[in-house]
Chain A
């Protein structure tokens, strides 16, 4: 019934009602015809009995008085019976009829008797074509003989045919009527359902929850419509609430975004300013520094000349003054110039660091495939002297190829490796391990040492510019880790450290694969 399943309810109703009407009509027609058939048979048998009784009564005296012409006359009177085919009268124990009547030539003598002999006398025997009745003819409780009546049943069939014909004629009309009635009924019955379905379709398509289904009647569909409308009400309410919330949220987000982008802009500007500033400072301060350095050197040379000159005039100066003068010339001034030179050198170093870091932000990145294995090997080669001095031992595990700026990456490794060597514990042999993990979308590189380690409070400080850990025994300008941090960030990664004082540190940084 796939066809049936895919049709509308109205069609189904129409179909069911029409089929039911036709079935009812067909069944009742059949029942009626069958009933008509049997009741007609009973009626025919009854009529035949009456006819036989009457005829028997009439013919009995003729039999008594052996008067066949009279009997014949009486039987001839039966020709008015429309369906009677034959009537035959027999005296007791006689083989030939005492009198007989045949409606047609084709029914010969004894015809009825031959056909009826199978049954006991008194019962009607039906065949398809005819019915034969045998009746004992009695007079004063004395059986005189038998009367056989044979009746044609074709009139019964004609009647049945007529009935069937009527039904056959009526059936198409009834079918049509049933169809139209069912169609109208089905359409009317399903109109509320169709309406409901249409509304539901429109709502699910347009998301317009303000629509309402029209209620047609107070039946089940009416209830459904009410519930549906109530549901729509709730959905609409909820929808409005959600919309309001969403609008509020959007406003809030927009507001926040606005203020955030402002902040970012400000930060960017100030950061830019800061970069420019640091660049300018570091760059421009170097020239006066070089001047200072130059003039301090000049001052030293002048002092030497002055010392030579003073030696020549030494005898003229009193002994007391001479000692004080010599102290100034030989000790105080050289010490001062030495301090100045050291300060300037230090200042230069700091300026170089600042310059380096400020450059980092300004430089264009030059991304290419970098063989980190080779890069690390080169770096280790570069610090071979220091590492040999510190008796450090390196363990390098196979390292991947990455997409990065080779210069920056080299700087990162150089700083981390030199730091690792620099802060080894002189009391035990140094051991430095380098490896990398493939962590789905990025690589993480590790540099682990068994050096002095960094105390917890220093672990945040070490990444700040010009700040160093508490271990001032080791030389350093305090720029390295800050630079590394900036460089890693520039490459899109992060830098972190895990360290325990006295056991060593593990520095690790990530590099995105893309």
Chain B
């Protein structure tokens, strides 16, 4: 149990963080998004043999979420495997990626990237708008100051991935099809 004093400090920090500038707010949001990405790893089943020693998270493009927040989840375990974050420079190297975080900067190359990722059985995650409609698996959505997510189940299926129903139940929307939402 944490001493009361520490709890009070945390509370103070939370208040200070809440009233801080936009940068601070973005940093918090990035951390949440990074945590989401990490948590997705817990509910996804890759095809057998795909995962060896670690679950590799590949970051494509330049994102403010980018490196620092995602790097922070490096080394945490999901499904008893450590999560390894990699920053990819070239989009064509998705061979050992299990999760592909596609930054908003790569919006123009999405179709191509998704295609590669699908072949590599990688779970595609992005916070760019319309990602699931474009064929991405999971899209992080910001609603009422909260981060939620949408899932394109078909995309995941086509990549040979099984997403746990427990995750599906939390999704803001699940698309079974490219256009029609399931819920």
* CB interface residues, B 121-169, toward A, < 8 Å: 146-149, 164, 166-167, 169
With A66-B146, A67-B148 as known contacts, state yes or no: A61 contacts B77, CB within 8 Å.
no
How many angstroms between the C-alpha atoms of A95 and B6 in the bound complex? 13
B170 touches A70 (CB 8 A): yes
How many angstroms between the C-alpha atoms of A71 and B183 in the bound complex? 18
- Chain A contact residue count (CB 8 A cutoff): 14
A70 touches B169 (CB 8 A): yes
Residues from chain B with a CB closer than 8 A to the CB of A66 are: 32, 146-147
How many angstroms between the C-alpha atoms of A70 and B149 in the bound complex? 13
* CB interface residues, B 62-107, toward A, < 8 Å: 77-80
Q: Assess whether A140 is interfacial by the CB under 8 Å rule.
A: yes
Candidates B80, B146, B169; contact of A61 at CB < 8 Å: B169
Which of A58, A60, A61 gathers the greatest number of chain B CB atoms within 10 Å? A61
Provide the A26-65 mask, 1 if CB < 8 A to any CB of B, else 0.
Answer: 0000000000000000000000000000000010111011
* CB interface residues, B 27-57, toward A, < 8 Å: 32, 36, 39, 42-43
Residues from chain B with a CB closer than 8 A to the CB of A70 are: 169-170
Residues from chain B with a CB closer than 8 A to the CB of A67 are: 148, 170
Residue of B nearest to A142 (CB): B77
With A62-B170, A93-B2 as known contacts, state yes or no: A140 contacts B7, CB within 8 Å.
no
A140 touches B42 (CB 8 A): yes
A53 → B minimal CB distance (Å): 14
Residue of B nearest to A57 (CB): B166
- List 30 contacting pairs A-B, 8 Å CB cutoff, sorted by A: A58-B166, A60-B166, A61-B43, A61-B164, A61-B166, A61-B167, A61-B169, A62-B170, A64-B39, A64-B42, A65-B36, A65-B148, A65-B149, A65-B170, A66-B32, A66-B146, A66-B147, A67-B148, A67-B170, A70-B169, A93-B2, A93-B7, A93-B10, A95-B7, A140-B42, A140-B77, A140-B78, A140-B79, A141-B77, A141-B80
Besides A61-B167, A65-B39, A140-B79, 15 more A-B contacts (Cβ < 8 Å) are A58-B166, A61-B164, A61-B166, A61-B169, A61-B170, A62-B170, A65-B148, A65-B149, A66-B146, A66-B147, A67-B170, A93-B7, A93-B10, A140-B80, A141-B77
The 5 closest A-B pairs by CB, nearest first: A61-B166, A64-B39, A67-B170, A70-B170, A65-B170
